[in-house]
Structure 1
Amino acid sequence: MRQKAVRLALVGGVVLLALLLALATCGGDPDGGGGRGGGATPGPAKRVMPSAGPVTRLTVPPQYTADRGWEIIGSSPEVAVSHATGRLAYLERLDGDRYRLRTVDTATGRLGWRGQAWRPPDPPHYPKLATVTAGARQYFVTWSYGKIGDGMSPASTFVSLDVYDVTDGSRQRVEVPWSGAPSVSTSGPEIVISDGKANSTLVDPVTGALSELSADELRYPKGCPACKQLTEVHGQTAAGLLVGGAREFWVRGGWFSRNVAPKGADRGSGVVTSVALDRVLARWSLAKRAKRAATHELWTVHDAATGRPLASVECHRPAIRPGRYPQAVLSPSGDHLIAGNLAFDLEAGQGHCFEEEDGSSHLSLATVTDDGIAYGAENARDAAEALAGGGLPVAVDFAAWTTAQLSRNARLPAVETTGVGVFRWTDRQDRTHLIGYPRTD
């Protein structure tokens, strides 16, 4: 009997130790808070490492396995990713309309550093989230726009930015007085806040220093009257501020679109439609004597530093101009780019426009990977709707420019990095789930 009691005590001790270890693994912050954050945190409701076993199982493209992975419950709808480090950042909402930035290692599912909780000037909405690269350093940026005080004067509204070093989470707060809804670009190396027109403020993510630029400081190219019409600051490149007019665009103090026009284009017709890191997507009219000048346009990806054309493709002119063109999305390596129904293999210098013979298009691409596979949906209005489960999911192979239908209820990866696709879905309690599924190969 005594030996049996001893055995039972030993078994009970092992069970208790296992429970304690499980609690230590599932709760808290594995990095001890990290960065300059602090305080208690509820942590994610579920976190499973890729080798640990199953998570919520979604229907996904065949390039991924849903048998294992990691999962975070209760994240912000938007995320930001650092491909250089494999870290993904998301916001968690705390009590009293406060928010905190958290990070996860996409390769392992391990939680990284966390920021301090803060209350933005516009509490009812999640702040926006992005990544900016300045030289060899990367930063996660959260920003929101709102009022302070009674909101009776222009100075009472401002843009609030929190800039976090990707590696250790060190943070600095920058507040910029601003009147009217801002447009914020993080194409880098500085954060550009503009009024959607010709006025802008640049924020240095390293020092937090501000510099203002008005319309008369944009260094308009000579002989370009259209440059001063509908002038808009589109963002920043490594060569300087990217600016466009009603027709033609330029880099302040750098290159001019007329001098880098792609072959077959009307040199005075270029219009910027999207900027993605060191790439600029522009729409051009075909040369006036071109056979399809009346029905087609030329879409070109340019190197943002030099303006050099990297790849082009012709597409039908839309019957009605969209209010805003699709945002360009780059693969982690920068070798592939997508935007709406356009796809470009920049390494091969090729582009493709997915449309019917009559010019109609029903495809919205949302994500592209380094192996030349893009994911999107037919009959979806845009990439956001495709990622939310709208339309008919498809995969596009850049090797042959072919589309393949996926399962009707397949979810699409919002981003892929470190060989892990990150999927997003919302449960019946209106909680956002982030799930990392590794690739099958």
Structure 2
Amino acid sequence: MKLKVPVPQAFDSTEGWQEALPWVPEDATGRPYAAASGAGVVALLKKQGSSYILEARDEATGALRFGSKPWHPPKPQEITGKAVVETPGVETVRQDGREYLAVWAQGTDSGDALSKPQQVVEVDIYPVDTSGASASPAHVVQVPVDTYSGVARARDGGAGLLVSTDSGDESVSVDMRTGHLKHYPNTTKLGEPTCGAIACVTSEVKALTARGPVLANSVGGFGVPGVWNSSRVVPHGASTHDYEQYKSTAHFAVSGHLVASWTAADNGDDIWAVHNAETGRVEASTRCSPSDLSEGDTPSALSLNGRYLLAGPLAFDLTSGKGYCFAGSKASRQILLLSADDDGQAYGVAQGDDTAAGAPVAVSLSTGHPKPLAHGAQPPFLSLRTVGAFSPPADGPGVLFAFLRRQ
């Protein structure tokens, strides 16, 4: 290690490896890293001239597992002569028990003799057990998107890669094994009983399951059409008065789990619940009134053993069914949680204000009590089996990642 990073006691600041990505701008739209925890791999997207290289490295040692051939993403869309600042990203997708790495970017393809250039999201798919220093992707797919459809997002949908844009006109799933696409227009209906009780106008795909997409109705309600419906899996303490049981909001998905909010029966703080995406079953819940949690901007994580789920200021124990709210109060600051160990030790940042900077904290999810970390210590943004991932200040442009061994 060239750099000694102040970290929590669970990690060794002198043992590990680091990597700088100087090309990453402050307003990057794609995430330049991903972790395939089952294989013990960290994937980093590096830039080489005008092209990019995907490097899959051993999480413990930093040794190269495989590298990709240089990749030229589609040309960024231009509006009135100015290129939209959109950056490529990497996602880990778990499908049918296998892990894949998906490198993606939005832009304009080159067209050909018969086809005009069009807006696309290009996705290059690599099984995580790919080998070689200059490997080719197993599949290269292009997802057509409307011109000026806004910033695209690609994420693990739970049973394939899920691609969507700001416009919300449709969502597209990518089968990682075959590269096949499936389109879900926003007019796809959630179905009964929600559509019989309240209006069903447009919907958005929040996750993918083996039995179909999880749809979130624009005016409330969510579920897998013909399989399960949120009105039948109301968490304890949520209102079922009049039509309230049909008006729940699914905010986003985390590794096969849905984070949703419900109106409380006593009109107090909302009920926030985690639902299993395959069945709709309530796995944990808590009362909370956090500030807006937007998909893509809210940090979220699942511990490696699948027990603890984090979503911004919310934390859930999916084994005990208990949830915690760290949204802050008149006396306490809101905490945004970043990562959680298998033993329930979570890390995050207590938000600052005009008079105080944000402070790193550790939170025990067995007690729900937060504690400040030592002055200057950094919280891990990823909690992996053998290391924690940290992002200390970079000496220059871009970002710096340090992967430090557990004690």
Deviation of 1:317 (Å):
6.5
> Match of 1:98?
51
Shift of 1:358: 4.8
Could you say which residue in structure 1 is the equivalent of 2:79?
none
1:284 aligned partner = 262
* Correspondence 1:87 to 2:65: no
In structure 2, list runs of 5 or more residues that go unmatched.
25-30, 77-84, 240-244
Identity of aligned residues (%): 29
Q: Are residues 84 and 356 of structure 1, via their aligned partners in 2, closer, same or farther at CA, if it must alter by over 3 Å?
A: closer
Q: Can you list the C-alpha shifts for 1:352-383, whole angstroms capped at 9, x where unaligned?
A: 112455597521111112121111111259xx
Please state how far the C-alpha of 1:253 moved relative to its aligned partner: 3.2
CA offset at residue 119 of structure 1?
1.0
**Structure showing the higher strand proportion among its residues:** 2
Alignment map for 1:76-155 (pairs within 5 Å): 78-95=32-49, 97-122=50-75, 125-149=86-110
Specify the SS of the correspondent of 2:231. Answer: helix
**Structure 1 residue 313 corresponds to structure 2 residue 286:** yes
Task: Please report the TM-score for the alignment, with normalisation by the length of structure 1.
Answer: 0.77
1:61 aligns with 2:8: yes
Change in CA separation of 1:68 and 1:149 when aligned onto 2, cut-off 3 Å: closer
Name 2:335's counterpart in structure 1.
363
Q: How many residues align?
A: 369
One-letter amino acid of the structure 1 residue matched with residue 257 of structure 2: R
Deviation at 1:425, TM superposition (A): 2.9
Instruction: State whether structure 2 residue 369 is matched by structure 1 residue 402.
Output: yes
Matched, 1:161 2:123: yes
Task: Tell whether the 8 Å contact from 1:160 to 1:176 is kept in structure 2 after alignment.
Answer: yes
Q: Structure 2: how far apart are the matches of 1:89 and 1:317? A: 32
The residue aligned with 1:40 is: none
Taking structure 2 as the reference length, the TM-score comes to 0.83
Correspondence 1:2-81 to 2 at 5 A = 54-74=1-21, 78-81=32-35
> How large is the Cα RMSD of the aligned pairs?
2.5
1:186 match:
156
CA contact (8 A) 1:121 1:147 kept: yes
Give 1:127 deviation, angstroms.
0.7
Larger Rg computed on CA atoms? 1
Indicate which of 311, 320, 336 corresponds to 2:308: 336
How far apart in 1 are the matches of 2:173 and 2:127?
A: 18
Deviation of 1:322 (Å) = 5.7
1:428 correspondence with 2:382: no
Residue 202 (structure 1) shift: 2.0
Q: Tell whether the 8 Å contact from 1:332 to 1:417 is kept in structure 2 after alignment.
A: yes
2:231 is aligned, of 258, 270, 286, to 258
Between the aligned partners of 1:431 and 1:356, the Cα distance in structure 2 is: 32
Q: More displaced, 84-93 or 235-244?
A: 235-244
Hey, what's the Cα distance between the residues in 2 that align with 1:431 and 1:391?
21
Letter in 1 for 2:386: G
Q: Does 1:304 align with 2:277?
A: yes
Report the CA distance between 1:122 and its aligned residue: 4.1
- Find out whether 1:349 has 2:349 as its counterpart: no
Residue 418 and residue 330 in structure 1: after superposition, are their counterparts in 2 closer, same or farther (change >3 A)?
Answer: same
Deviations 1:92-140 (A, max 9, x none): 1001x21010011112321210011111114665311111111021111
Q: Normalized per residue, which structure has more helix? A: 1
Provide Cα deviations, 1:143-196, integer angstroms capped at 9, x if missing partner.
Answer: 11112359xx99621111111110115512111221113343322312222345
Distance 1:380 1:193, change over 3 A: farther
1:409–1:136 Cα change, 3 Å: same
Check 1:395–1:360 CA distance in 2 against 1; reply closer, same or farther (3 A cut): closer
Matched to 1:78, the amino acid is P
Cα separation, 2, equivalents of 1:219 and 1:354: 32
Do the aligned partners of residues 214 and 316 (structure 1) sit closer, same or farther apart at CA in structure 2, a change above 3 Å counting? closer
Secondary structure of the corresponding residue to residue 62 of structure 1: coil
Distance in 2 between residues matched to 1:394 and 1:227, nearest whole Å: 43
User: 1:274 Cα shift?
Assistant: 1.6
- Contact 1:86–1:418 at 8 Å: present in 2 too? yes
Distance (Å, rounded) in 2 between the aligned partners of 1:154 and 1:213: 24
